[in-house]
């Protein structure tokens, strides 16, 4: 069962700022910088469990298949509670399986907590993010939220694209 809010955020709330390193490109990426780089267009913030998760890999493939449409409407950033050089070595996975958008690492889980999608423990996970999709407008306000109830529960891609179109038209 999905939710249209997180533990800490609702639609209309200001999006918590972040500044995180990327596993698939050099540099540190901040929400404000990503929004300004999108030329006043919305940004999809996609929380994933990690590069080790088959459902997350499938999700990235689904979003990458719509890369041109997403880029025409705004931008996208992936965030996972993984460590650079950690057990699952996300940088190695992403070198072998590149993605078009920044893949950010929330190593201390502070951003995952701030956005209200931290999952301390469940039958299939410990200390990771719930699968979640947020659409943030140019003013850094949240305009769409889908928080998955399970690792299989993801926002339909057509719904994410529709949310981008709605924000852009507003």
Q: pLDDT tens-digit profile of 65-114? A: 999 999 999 999 999 988 887 777 899 999 999 999 999 999 999 999 99
Q: How confident is the model at residue 1 (pLDDT cuts 50, 70, 90)?
A: very low
The CATH superfamily assigned to 19-169 is: Glutaredoxin (3.40.30.10)
47 compared with 1, residue with greater pLDDT: 47
**Burial of 117 per CB tally in 10 Å (0-12, 13-18, 19+):** buried
pLDDT of amino acid 2: 53
Q: What are the sequence ranges of the domains in the chain?
A: 19-169
Q: pLDDT tens-digit profile of 124-136? A: 555 677 899 999 9
Tell whether the model's pLDDT for residue 119 goes beyond 80: no
**Closest residue by Cα to residue 116 from 127, 140, 103, 132:** 132
């Amino acid at each position: 069962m999905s939710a249209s809010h997180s533990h800490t955020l609702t639609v209309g709330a200001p999006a918590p700022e972040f500044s995180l390193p990327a596993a698939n490109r050099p540099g540190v990426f901040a929400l404000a910088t990503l929004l300004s780089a999108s030329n006043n267009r919305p940004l999809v913030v996609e929380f994933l469990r990690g590069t080790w998760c088959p459902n997350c890999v499938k999700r990235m493939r689904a979003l990458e298949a719509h890369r041109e449409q997403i880029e025409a409407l705004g931008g996208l950033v992936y965030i996972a509670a993984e460590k650079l050089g950690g057990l699952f070595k996300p940088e190695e996975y992403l070198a072998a399986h590149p993605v078009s958008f920044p893949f950010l690492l929330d190593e201390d889980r502070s951003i995952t907590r701030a956005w209200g999608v931290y999952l301390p423990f469940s039958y299939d996970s410990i200390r990771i993010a719930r699968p979640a999709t947020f659409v943030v407008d140019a003013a850094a306000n949240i305009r769409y939220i889908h928080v998955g109830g399970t690792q299989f529960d993801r926002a339909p891609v057509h719904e994410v694209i529709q949310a981008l179109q709605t924000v852009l038209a507003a």
